Amino acid sequence: MALDTSVPNQKVTVKAGSVLFPEGSSANSLNVLHSGALRYVLDAPNSRKLELFKISGANLTPGASALFGTGRYPYTIIAEQDCVLSTYVMSQSTVGRSLAARSSLGIMVGRSLLREITELFKKANQLRKIASDMGRTNDNLSLLYYQFNPGVFPDIKPGQPIADPGAEIVDPVLRLARENLKHYFDNGGILPERPTPNYVEEDHSQLLMKYNPEEIEFQDAEFNFVRKIILSDPNLLAQLFAPDPAMVSYVCDKLGRVQNGLTENSRGILEEVDEGFKLLLGGPESLTEKYFLILDMAANGYSTAPPEFVVPILQVVSQKIERSLAGHQTLFGSALPNPSPNIKSFLEKTLGLSKKFESSAPAAATNGGISVDGSADATAIRKELANSASTIIQFSGLGGDAIKEFSAMMVKLKSLKNPLDSDNDTRKLRRSITKTYFDIYAACFQKYMNSNKNVPKPVDLMLKYGLFDETMLDDSQLVFMSTYKDPIAAVSDIPIHYGTEWLERIYKREAPTSLDELGQNFFDKVKMDNRNAVFKKESDLPPDIDNPEARLKFEFGAMYEANVRLTTGSLATYLPILTKYHSQIPLGKAYVTKKLLTDTIHDIMAVDFSVFNREVIYNNPETGINKEFIQRAIVPDFIIVPSIGSKIMMWQELSIHRGSGSKESRGRIVLPIFVQGDLKSLLIDAFAAFRWELCKTILGPEWNNVGNPSITADYMDYVQFYKKNKDLSIEIKEKLAAEFKRFRNERDIFANDYQLWIKYEAEGVQRLNRVVRSIFYRHIPFARPIREKVSKMPAFGEINNRFINIRTRKFTELENRYKKYINTLGSLPDQLRENLEFYRV
């Protein structure tokens, strides 16, 4: 029975387990907790209860937010322990005056509200994370459901328009799949040729036009100000509120409104979580049931997809089901209501099929792109690599105590069912292992250089691929890493370096060090660490500070380690040590050879021929040339680090950011050695970031000035003022308003449009609006053969004519100016001739 608060000014003792204030009941009192503990509970669908938080202590005013909101308690408050409370009759209309009359009571209420807000914010963020994870999982499984069972979607063909699902489609999974496929294909998404478990974890929200943040976005400057006030010294607050007692009422009212808003937000997120559970596990129309049919087809040999693709995904679904059931029990303290009828059968059959698949799978075979030595003896290779972890640790020279601690962590990691699980305990274990692993890696590379690259086989494979413990890898993976050798490519116009090759260049001072995550280079860091010394330039550094070992150490911490992490694309499951859980496809299929990377870059440059161009100054005093601005293509360094993942990082647009030659220095783009996903799509994203950042750096403060036209200035103007753009219809403006919310910043919006420009617009398939198309055609023109093809289409006719006129004027101007530089043989210096060709239409 609820606490009777109608008695004025009473002091009561409430037994543990008693309900003080039920959710939805009228709030007609201000209550002060003198001792004990309280539990706050929210009603959830299907008669479930969600515990929000617990608080204990004295001088708390539980449920006071109801007096600043609807007048009803937004949740149920239960005595967790025996409690002593005082109750004072009060209402929404009288609470302001009461608090103004007693500022000390107002301060108590304000601090109590702030404490409740803090606890509620933690719970809301937990719910937000669960909703985000479940939403991502369900979306990705809905896409793969189409790929594994296309017969259910006979009207859907990749690359062709997909109609909005009609009202006749009531099955929630089929509706979700159709909606997701429509947005996914419309935005240039490409389903993986070989689906992997990593795909289920990847974030495709931009392609799906969804926004699933993992944390609540809370930006309220007024709340932050009020929060600082209420946390001040009570004596100072009493003096502050004395001249105007209404101030304390305002502070409490603001905090009460924030808490009520946060409660409603939590309720909305809870509905998302509940919907996520239903889609995955609830009833006969869930994803579990859909994948149970796929499981049956795979078990009976009727699946359209090969078992090596289907079985790993079914294993992931099985893990998701088990974790979701346990998560529901933890969250609500009860089992999932109305679960899918075949959950138990799904888990049992998946386990049986997995064992059957593993026993029948060949130990080593050929993979999609690279042939593995079929005659290689996997047993002999495993024997050669036996005790790899011990060999690597001993070679590194790690200390005795550190070895014991690290070995214990590795034993614990290997005992886990899946070392890449995203639960908190496993993530903490991986973080601890990662720190020591990179200490070992750095020490091994230093010895690798000192020993003229003569190191044990396990050490060599760790430096190249991230191998550490051979027992955590399949035979086929060990065979590939042990036997495959990337053929030495001929001299290429694309500077590509494997990780060890790049670190060697830094060690030998053949390339300047990279920037770290704070934007500092080696010299900046030295100056920070030696503030008392006066170093004006790098040549001032003494040998004991500036030496190969110091530069290598800086590069390793600044760029290398960070990019091994970032290129995975999944920080929640990050582990630098390569395991069989990272990918179910053969490593050779994911391996990035120098030839593959070169060919893919050339494919993109065949569309965007000026992607690496910039304007630089050309001087040649011998021929009288002084400060001629020319276009020059400066291709970035591509660095392939030992990681496996789905992200390519544009790390730097320039390698030298200050001084002579900075604008002519190469950028740096970093990619994993094993790519999970479409290499071309990932490179296009990186090139978009490169274009954007290079333009900002070259132009400086003018990067956003529409008076000085550039891709960044014109595109920023479009994003900021699209609502006022007369060239866009109301429907397009509404679509853009929703679409822009999916992206973190303007650069990400640009990268999305750049993908569509390269993949679709270059083929004459219109995916961009006319404003963006015009901006891109001016600043990111297609190569001449493509321009000639698309210029015949109505959407490109006008902007192509404008482009031709602008370029022709520029070409004529340069041609006339360059006449004075023609030598006696009638030729121009190569740099000027190439610049003329750049502007030739």
Q: Between the ranges 241-255, 394-408, 594-608, where is the mean pLDDT highest?
A: 594-608
* Mean pLDDT value of segment 571-575: 88
Q: Tell which wins on pLDDT, 357 or 785.
A: 785
pLDDT for the residue 611? 96
At residue 369, the 3 state secondary structure works out as coil
Q: How far apart are CA 202 and CA 291, in angstroms?
A: 19
* Longest Cα separation, the chain: 109
Let me know: does 638 contact 671? Beta carbons within 8 Å. yes
pLDDT for the residue 368? 40
Dihedral sign (CA 211, 217, 222, 223): positive
For the cut 60, the answer to whether the pLDDT of residue 369 exceeds it is: no
Q: How far apart are CA 427 and CA 429, in angstroms?
A: 5
pLDDT for the residue 370? 64
Q: State the CATH class of domain 10-117+219-266.
A: mainly beta
Could you read off the pLDDT of 57-103 as tens digits, one per residue? Answer: 999 999 999 999 889 999 999 999 999 999 999 998 899 889 888 88
Q: For the ranges 8-12, 128-132, 460-464, 529-533, which has the lowest average pLDDT? A: 529-533
Output the six-digit token pair for 753: 């449009």
pLDDT for the residue 840? 87
pLDDT for the residue 584? 64
pLDDT band at 687 (very low <50, low <70, confident <90, very high): very high
Beta carbons within 8 Å of 673's beta carbon, 6+ residues apart: 464, 465, 466, 498, 499, 591, 592, 640, 641, 642, 643, 644
Paired sense of beta strands 496-498 and 37-44, if any: unpaired
pLDDT for the residue 301? 74
Let me know: does 89 contact 28? Beta carbons within 8 Å. yes
Q: Tell which wins on pLDDT, 680 or 365.
A: 680
Angle CA 91–97–100, to nearest 5 = 130
Q: For the ranges 5-14, 33-42, 604-613, 824-833, which has the lowest average pLDDT? A: 824-833
Phi, psi dihedrals of residue 44, rounded to the nearest 5°: -120, 165
Q: Between the ranges 139-148, 298-307, 633-642, where is the mean pLDDT highest?
A: 633-642
* Mean pLDDT value of segment 771-778: 96
pTM of the model: 0.67
For the cut 50, the answer to whether the pLDDT of residue 365 exceeds it is: no
Output the six-digit token pair for 19: 């309900």
For the cut 90, the answer to whether the pLDDT of residue 286 exceeds it is: yes
* Mean pLDDT value of segment 373-386: 80
Q: How far apart are CA 478 and CA 472, in angstroms?
A: 10
Cα distances from 660 to residues 352, 428, 616, 617, 702, in angstroms, run: 66, 45, 12, 11, 21
Alpha helices in 513-573 (DSSP H): 522-529, 548-555, 561-566
Q: For the ranges 257-271, 423-437, 626-640, 824-838, which has the lowest average pLDDT? A: 824-838
At residue 406, the 3 state secondary structure works out as helix
For the cut 60, the answer to whether the pLDDT of residue 367 exceeds it is: no
pLDDT for the residue 363? 39
Domain locations in the chain as residue ranges: 10-117+219-266, 128-212+270-359, 803-839
One-character DSSP codes across 234-271 = HHHHHHHHSS-THHHHHHHHHHHHHHHHHHHHHHHHHH
Output the six-digit token pair for 86: 């005082």
The pLDDT > 70 percentage for the chain reads 96
pLDDT for the residue 644? 94
Helices 794-818, 830-839: axis angle to 10 degrees equals: 150
**Residue that has been written with the tokens 């386990």 in this structure:** 351
pLDDT for the residue 361? 47
Could you read off the pLDDT of 395-406 as tens digits, one per residue? Answer: 999 888 889 999
One-character DSSP codes across 153-216 = -TT--TTS--PPPPTT---HHHHHHHHHHHHHHHTT----SS--HHHHHS--HHHHT----SS-
Paired sense of beta strands 29-35 and 48-56, if any: unpaired
Could you read off the pLDDT of 19-44 as tens digits, one per residue? Answer: 999 999 999 999 999 999 999 999 99
For the cut 90, the answer to whether the pLDDT of residue 306 exceeds it is: no
For the cut 60, the answer to whether the pLDDT of residue 318 exceeds it is: yes
Could you read off the pLDDT of 425-457 as tens digits, one per residue? Answer: 898 999 999 999 999 999 999 999 999 889 999
pLDDT for the residue 470? 93
pLDDT band at 489 (very low <50, low <70, confident <90, very high): low
At residue 55, the 3 state secondary structure works out as strand
Q: How far apart are CA 119 and CA 36, in angstroms?
A: 17
Q: What value does the mean pLDDT of the chain take?
A: 88
* Mean pLDDT value of segment 408-430: 89
Output the six-digit token pair for 36: 């004990």
Output the six-digit token pair for 389: 């972890």
Could you read off the pLDDT of 710-731 as tens digits, one per residue? Answer: 999 999 999 999 999 999 999 9
Nearest to 820 by CA among 624, 661, 685: 624
pLDDT band at 216 (very low <50, low <70, confident <90, very high): confident
